[in-house]
Every structure is written in structure tokens, then in C-alpha cells.
Amino acid sequence: MNKKGKTTHRERSEFIWGWLFILPTMVGLIVLNIIPIFQTIYQSFFKTGDFGRGNIFVGFANYQKVFADKEVWQALFNTLKYAVVEVPLSIIIALVLAVFLNGKIKGKSTFRTIFFLPMVAAPAAIAMVWKWLYNSEFGLLNHILPGKTNWISNPKIAIYSIAIIGIWSIIGYNMVLFLAGLQEVPKDYYEAAAIDGATGVQQFFSITIPLVSPTIFFVMVTRIIAAMQVFDVIYMVIDNNNPALFKTQSLVCLFYKYSFQQSNKGYGATVVVVLLVVIMIFTVLQMIGQKKWVHYT
């Protein structure tokens, strides 16, 4: 900007080109994310007829029904249980793997590729393989482990079996993010700590975790949001005749059931709005809490 406060031709050109470059992303964000959110909230105040026709305004009746619906509360509990198991374990395992693969070991590029492979595999293929592993009659796990366990049909353990699939699927992605964070940590810190006699474990907790805490925070926030929206693995592993269905279906599974199987998109939209509020609460709490443990350099 010149002395008189007027923008130059170059500054105006950069401003225009900057907006043009971000315009496709903004349009996609508005069309695919922002508008559907408001449409969903709007739809939650209606009761949809058969085949999605004949919307009838019902006000807050859907919300009153949701809070009295035991199936919704159970689905919320299932979703939270899945997130509580999947998110911490996937972060811890991925961070430990990233620390090892960031060191001087042979074939670390190969190991990184192997761990990341589940991320590029189709969810349907993953579900098919794990259903075979969990099969109570001829599954590999029951051949290796003693006893006969109904991994995905026992209501008491089915959600944990699903969480194991989620952990296995996401470890590679988390690991790549942690590797990027670890490579930004100056090596001088570790050398100084080693001179002072700090062990590898002490360096991990005193240097690695504090300096990688921004990456840990990012992964934690995104993973909680993703875990709260779990659908595909549950839908493809747990069928409608499974006795563990009630104890495993998530809120998104319930949304699919009401919206597409029962053609009541209004009530399904209400379930999604409840999920949106829950996710927002968790995200805000994390944003507030991160001031106490995340260290930005």
C-alpha cells in the first residue's frame, strides 16, 4: 500500500487472484457443507410422508420424540463407547509407531506403506475381511485363540470388535500425521537431553509429546468428529438380523434407518441435529482444554 493509503494495481491484482484461487473451495464448502446443514435443521421440523413426499410441519415434535426415544439414547451411548475405545488407542498406537519409524531403522519406508494401506482399501473389502476373521464357526481368530467367541453377535463385546476394525483402519493415517510433526522437532533437543543423561522414555515424555502436542490435538479433534460419525463399518459388519444390532448401531446408522429405510427424513434429520450438537459440545470443550496442554512454538 502506498503512502496515501491507496492500493496499487499489483495489490488489487493479487487480491483478485487470491479470491479466484479460493473460490472453488468456498463454493464447494457452501454447496456441500453449509447449505445441507441448514436444510437438515429445517427438515427436522417436519414429518415426511412415504417416499419422501408430503412434508407436514410438526414444530418441535420430532425433538420431543427423540429425547423420549430409548433407541436414540442407546445409539448415542454406542457411539460414545466406540469413540472412547477407538480414538485414544488409535492415537497412542499411531504415535508410538511414528516414533519408531522416524528413527534409523531399515526398511522404514516399506513399513510406513504397509501401515498406511488400510486407508486406501475400500470399506466394503475391509468389512468382508474382518467378518471372516470374526466368524464364530470358521474365523481365523477363533482358530488361533482358545474357545469360541461370538465377536460380532455377542451384544456385550460387538461394539469393541467394531472399534478394533476402526483402530486398525485409521492407524496409518494418524501415523503419517505424527511423522510430519516429529520431523519438525529439532534434533538438538534430543542431543542435549542425551548429554544430560535422559533416557529414551524420558525424552519421549519431556520433549516429543510437548513439541508434537499441536499435532496430537489436531488428530484428536478430527478423530473424535469422525468416530462420532461412524457408519460404514457398523452397517456392513452388523446386519439387521444380528442380535447385537441394538448395542452397536450408531446415531448415523439410526439416521439411515429412519431416513431411507422408513422414509421419515424429518425424524432422521432430527437425529443428525442431535449428533451435530454433541459434536459441537465436544469440539468446544477440546478447544477450551487445549490451552492447558498444547504447546505452540
Question: Can you give the pLDDT at residue 53?
Answer: 63
Q: Contact at 8 Å (CB) between 269 and 47?
A: no
Query: Could you report the average pLDDT of every consecutive run of 10 residues in the chain (297 residues)?
Result: 66 88 92 91 84 76 93 95 96 93 81 85 88 89 87 94 94 93 89 88 90 95 95 91 93 92 89 95 94 85
Element holding 194 (H helix, E strand): helix 187-195
Q: Can you give the residue ranges of every domain in the chain?
A: 65-292
Type of residue found at 255: F
Give the per-residue pLDDT at 50. Answer: 61
Rounded Cα distance between 22 and 119, Å, is: 27
Task: State the burial class of residue 120 (Cβ atoms within 10 Å of its Cβ: 0-12, 13-18, 19+).
Answer: exposed
Q: Which CATH class is domain 65-292?
A: mainly alpha
Q: What is the pLDDT of residue 48?
A: 78
Q: pLDDT value at position 190?
A: 87
pTM: 0.88
Strands in the chain per DSSP E: 46-47, 56-57
